[in-house]
């Protein structure tokens, strides 16, 4: 029995377009990426393990993943509030605010980096009010958190917003007529609908933050063991021509990124199955 690889169609161009797409994607993305894994095979296991588990690397994971996680949590909460306000309420300037939410996607990361540093440094617009309170943001791990929160801002808003928009108001009306107060309706009717989107948005914000470089390096201060993120450590190793070390750390980051991407896909698969099941 012949395996059907492609269903017949009268439209032309399948071989040409798919062939070109695969060729191009392999050349630009797949082959160079697999080169990273091939390069690690030139390291012995001891060398690899030594590089990825030295104290400086461990400290950088802790900062990178910790700040990314906190940033995702902050954006999970405030992103939902922003999505809710944008969908449910009308106020002057709403459409401008809605458009501006995407700014962190469109703004080059270097611009975000120097701007946040200027604002949060001790004589900056916000930093000067935090300094007397004993809060130093720029050039500390707190600065990393600020940059990663900025970078992750649009994700939760943009995943929760369409779900809120499509939410059937009649279900909420029914809940209220059945005697639920607004808070109960929110918790028992709205939140369960939002969960998958919220989780997806937070996972995306986290995944993006873990690899972020440009916006962080200006505000972080980049002190080894204290405020050095993993992508910067890779960069430092590259500048010292330690290609093996950079590759080892790069593989760790890449595996983490793939696991996160897989998780995001699983969440989406799970929620779309839940939706079609009804």
Is residue 264 close enough to count as binding another protein by CB under 8 A?
yes
Q: What is d(CA 190, CA 108) in angstroms, rounded to the nearest whole number?
A: 35
| DSSP character string of 9-23 | -S---HHHHHHHHHH
Query: Which residues ranging from 160 to 199 are in contact with another protein (CB under 8 A)?
Result: 161-163, 166, 169, 172-173, 176-177, 182, 185, 196-197
Is residue 268 close enough to count as binding another protein by CB under 8 A?
yes
Q: Which of 253, 237, 251 is nearest to 37 (CA)?
A: 251
Q: What is d(CA 204, CA 261) in angstroms, rounded to the nearest whole number?
A: 8
Query: Left (φ > 0), alpha (ψ -120 to 50) or beta: where does 180 sit?
Result: beta
Q: What is d(CA 50, CA 185) in angstroms, rounded to the nearest whole number?
A: 53
Task: Return all residues near 55 (Cβ < 8 A) that are at least 6 apart.
Answer: 225
Query: Which residues ranging from 84 to 123 are in contact with another protein (CB under 8 A)?
Result: 84-86, 88-89, 91, 95, 97-112, 114-116, 118-119
Q: How far is the CB of 227 from another protein (least distance, A)?
A: 17
Is residue 126 close enough to count as binding another protein by CB under 8 A?
yes
By CB under 8 A, the count of residues binding another protein is 113
Binds another protein by CB under 8 A, chosen from 1, 2, 10, 133: 10
Which residue, 63 or 197, has its beta carbon nearer to another protein?
197
Which residue, 28 or 188, has its beta carbon nearer to another protein?
28
Q: How far is the CB of 271 from another protein (least distance, A)?
A: 5
Is residue 213 close enough to count as binding another protein by CB under 8 A?
yes
Q: What is d(CA 80, CA 72) in angstroms, rounded to the nearest whole number?
A: 12
């Amino acid at each position: 029995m012949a395996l059907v690889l492609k269903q017949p169609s009268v439209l032309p161009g399948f071989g040409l377009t798919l062939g070109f797409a695969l060729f191009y994607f392999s050349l630009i993305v797949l082959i160079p990426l697999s080169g990273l894994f091939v390069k690690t095979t030139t390291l012995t296991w001891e060398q690899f393990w030594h590089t990825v588990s030295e104290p400086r690397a461990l400290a950088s994971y802790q900062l990178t993943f910790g700040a990314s996680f906190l940033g995702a949590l902050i954006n999970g909460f405030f992103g939902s509030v922003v999505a809710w306000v944008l969908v449910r309420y009308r106020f002057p300037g709403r459409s401008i605010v809605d458009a501006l939410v995407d700014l962190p996607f469109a703004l080059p990361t270097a611009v975000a980096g120097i701007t946040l540093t200027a604002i949060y440094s001790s004589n900056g617009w916000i930093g000067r009010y935090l300094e007397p309170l004993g809060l130093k943001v720029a050039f500390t791990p707190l600065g990393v958190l600020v940059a990663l929160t900025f970078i992750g801002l649009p994700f939760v808003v943009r995943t929760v917003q369409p779900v809120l928009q499509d939410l059937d108001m009649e279900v909420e009306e029914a809940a209220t007529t059945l005697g639920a107060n607004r808070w109960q309706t929110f918790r028992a009717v709205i939140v369960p609908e939002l969960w998958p989107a919220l989780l997806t948005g937070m996972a995306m914000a986290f995944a993006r933050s873990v690899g972020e470089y440009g916006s962080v390096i200006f505000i972080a201060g980049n002190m080894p063991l204290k405020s050095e993120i993993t992508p910067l450590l890779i960069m430092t190793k590259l500048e010292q021509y330690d290609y093996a070390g950079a590759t080892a750390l790069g593989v760790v980051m890449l595996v983490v990124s793939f696991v996160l991407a897989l998780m995001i896909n699983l969440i989406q698969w799970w929620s779309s199955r839940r939706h079609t099941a009804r």
